[in-house]
Amino acid sequence: MSLTLTVTKDAAERLGMIVAQQAESEEQGLRIFSRGGGCGCSGPSFAMGIDKASDVDNVLSFHGVRFIVDPDTATSLEGASIDYTEDDLMRKG
């Protein structure tokens, strides 16, 4: 399956900093995966972590950051957009 996903420049820059700090090799990227649950009105739940792509994964690059998505998760993420925003709570942390 070919995955259509959008990642804003702000999100890619912020996530790219995390990948740069935590990745052990250039082959690694940011894996987006389903966390289970997602029943009822809350919808699916996703998480991210540093990982290496397998042969069956979708690998996309946005603003220099590598995103890795397995085929099962790709179905739920199709057409999604990832953005990064800061609010007052995050600035005070």
Fold exhibited by the domain 1-36+46-77:
Hypothetical Protein Aq_1857; Chain: A; (2.60.300)
pLDDT at residue 13 is higher than 70: yes
Place of tokens 């220099």: 64
Domain residue limits, the chain: 1-36+46-77
Three-class secondary structure assignment of 38-93: CCHHHCCCEEEEEEECCCCCEEEEECCEEEEECHHHHHHHCCCEECCCCCHHHHHC
Task: Please write the tens of the pLDDT for every residue from 46-93.
Answer: 999 999 999 999 999 999 999 999 999 999 999 999 999 987 665 554
Residue bearing the bigger pLDDT, 87 or 23: 23
pLDDT at residue 19 is higher than 70: yes
